[in-house]
Amino acid sequence: MKSTIIKNIILLSLLLLSLLLCKSCDSFTDVGLPKNQITRDLVFKDDQLAKSAMAGVYRSLEESGFLSGSSSGAQVILGAYVDELQSYAPATSDVSVFYQLSHMAGSSKISSLWTSTYSQIYNINAVIEGVENSENLSSEVRSRLKGEGLFLRSILHLYLVQTFGSIPYVNSTNYEVNQSISKSSIAQVYVQCKADLDAALSLLPETLATGNRIYPTKMAAYTVLARISYYEKNWDAAIQYSNAVIGNTQYKMESDLNKVFLKDNSGSIWQLLPFSSIYNTYQGNVFILNTAPPTNVALRQDFINDFEPGDSRKAAWVGQKTDSQNKTYYYPFKYKQYSTSTSSLEYSVVLRVEELYLIRAEAYIHKGQYDLAIADLNKIRNRAGLASLTAITDQNTLLNALVKERRSELFTEFGHRFYDLKQHDLLDVVMPTRKSGWKPNFRLLPLPEKELLLNPNLNPQNEGY
């Protein structure tokens, strides 16, 4: 495969705040020329420059790809893809393409989601290799940056495999390997994700103080391991990893729903820092409606109708705006800040402890420990002002209750609804009732057409595309 040369592998800004290891890539297999190794060696001789390199990685996560809070992130495009968001954007926009189910292998958003994520992974691998090969960094910085890199590499591959199915697990910047790399099966990707997380556990700090959980910790690694166990249906492991976080007294569910997405919420496990100390989140800017009708996205009416009567999450996490024709539109209002403030009040919450209660509840259901499952579900329900579930001995009834709680608790958070419907084999049950054009093959997105042309080893294309 003919590879495009990456220019400016490492860009040093004057303030060292936005150092990036890869400025632009045409495909995820693009790598730098050996001459850039000189610049890389200089960067990884200095603690502050090395930390700035990783800061560039975090900035890229916020700007594009699965974890971006912008309109290009998973929470918008996958929310519109299933039954959370309705698109009011132009028909040719990325979000409308997903909403209308008109995505194809050649769609620009398919390509950009894939390419931006693999570019991020390339940058992460460059940091990992840089700190591993450096003899000048302090041991503290070496351990921290390698641990963070392993964690980030794992979680990004997890999003890729859940979205595209079999994918390459890229763990180096080696040109010869990456230009013709083959796909790994879903099971193999899970194994590699877990290996990276296990290695990260020995390097990451146990926890960070509330308001400063902007870097991965052991608790974040346990959370992703719990999520993988949920996807693998390894219920003993799901309980083990969930317990590791829930049992840590520094991680508690916030009793006030209006405080759950503040930067100092004790239930937050990992957050992304805004790009300026006076800014808040992309989510607030993207979702909050200041005028109506919307010009981007809003919550679907059937989503609003599905809230259980008396659910406080509807009051606290759903806003509304009425247009001149007296039509009301609803929007996600988990993040309350639309723009700037004297200092940042909200960070983008990627992982939070509530997910672990829901993972553990499902594990208990499948193990037949219904009382324990109900206790975990009731922690979520009671905080939302809902009555406790009473003794239920039917597994299907409990699983239905669990799926409903996941929908009401985790909506518009980085694609949970899409992944949950797929996990519970409900995509082809629910989606045909919501969208007439739904097809069974939509459980996976297509591999980008141009990537298949560049690297035939990525074939075959996903079924139906």
Q: Compute the distance between CA of residue 429 and CA of residue 201 in angstroms, rounded to an integer.
A: 39
Backbone angles phi, psi at 67, to 5 degrees: -95, 5
pLDDT band at 33 (very low <50, low <70, confident <90, very high): very low
pLDDT at 200 over 70: yes
DSSP-derived letter for residue 208 is: -
Q: Tokens 């929007």 appear where?
A: 331
pLDDT band at 21 (very low <50, low <70, confident <90, very high): very low
pLDDT at residue 393 in the model: 87
DSSP 3-state of 353: helix
Please give the share of the chain, as a percent, with pLDDT higher than 90: 88
Contact between residue 113 and residue 78 where contact means Cβ atoms under 8 Å apart: no
C-alpha 82: how far from chain center: 16
Helices (H) and strands (E) in the chain, counts: 19, 6
262-267: long-range contacts, CB 8 A cutoff, minimum separation 24? 262/345, 262/346, 263/211, 263/344, 263/345, 263/346, 263/347, 264/210, 264/211, 265/210, 265/349, 265/352, 266/210, 267/352, 267/353, 267/354
Contact between residue 379 and residue 253 where contact means Cβ atoms under 8 Å apart: yes
pTM above 0.85, yes or no: yes
How many Cβ atoms from other residues are within 10 Å of residue 7's Cβ?
14
pLDDT, tens digit, 9 for 90 and up, residues 117-151: 999 999 999 999 999 999 999 999 999 999 999 99
Strand-pair partners of 87: 297
Average pLDDT over residues 206-227: 97
How many Cβ atoms from other residues are within 10 Å of residue 36's Cβ?
19
pLDDT at residue 407 in the model: 98
pLDDT band at 43 (very low <50, low <70, confident <90, very high): confident
Average pLDDT over residues 160-177: 95
Q: Compute the distance between CA of residue 299 and CA of residue 302 in angstroms, rounded to an integer.
A: 9
Please give the share of the chain, as a percent, with pLDDT higher than 70: 91
Strands 348-352, 318-322: pairing is unpaired
Backbone angles phi, psi at 386, to 5 degrees: -100, 150
pLDDT band at 39 (very low <50, low <70, confident <90, very high): low
- 3-state DSSP: the chain helix, strand, coil percent, rounded to 5? 50, 5, 45
CA dist list (Å): 210 to 149, 207, 238, 295, 304: 22, 9, 25, 35, 32
pLDDT, tens digit, 9 for 90 and up, residues 329-343: 999 999 999 988 899
Mean pLDDT score across all residues of the chain: 91
Q: Where are the alpha helices (DSSP H) in 210-252?
A: 218-232, 235-246
pLDDT at residue 81 in the model: 98
Contact between residue 287 and residue 297 where contact means Cβ atoms under 8 Å apart: yes
What single-letter amino acid sits at 109? Answer: K
pLDDT band at 13 (very low <50, low <70, confident <90, very high): very low
Q: Compute the distance between CA of residue 311 and CA of residue 306 in angstroms, rounded to an integer.
A: 10
CA dist list (Å): 236 to 60, 216, 230, 405: 35, 24, 10, 21
Contact between residue 59 and residue 264 where contact means Cβ atoms under 8 Å apart: no
C-alpha 215: how far from chain center: 15
CATH 1.25.40.390 describes domain 9-204: yes
Q: Which candidate, 391, 394, 400, places its Cα nearest to that of 368?
A: 394
Token representation of residue 405: 């709680």
Q: Which residue has the higher pLDDT, 107 or 39?
A: 107
pLDDT, tens digit, 9 for 90 and up, residues 243-273: 999 999 999 999 999 999 999 999 999 999 9
pLDDT at 295 over 80: yes
Q: Compute the distance between CA of residue 395 and CA of residue 361 in angstroms, rounded to an integer.
A: 12
Q: Which residue has the higher pLDDT, 37 or 226?
A: 226
DSSP 3-state of 375: helix
Residue ranges of domains in the chain: 9-204, 282-348
Q: Which candidate, 286, 293, 185, 197, places its Cα nearest to that of 237?
A: 197
pLDDT at residue 217 in the model: 98
Q: Which residue has the higher pLDDT, 422 or 4?
A: 422
pLDDT at 31 over 60: no
pLDDT, tens digit, 9 for 90 and up, residues 379-388: 999 999 999 9
HSE-CB of 407 using CA atoms within 13 angstroms: 24
pLDDT at 240 over 90: yes
pLDDT at 12 over 80: no
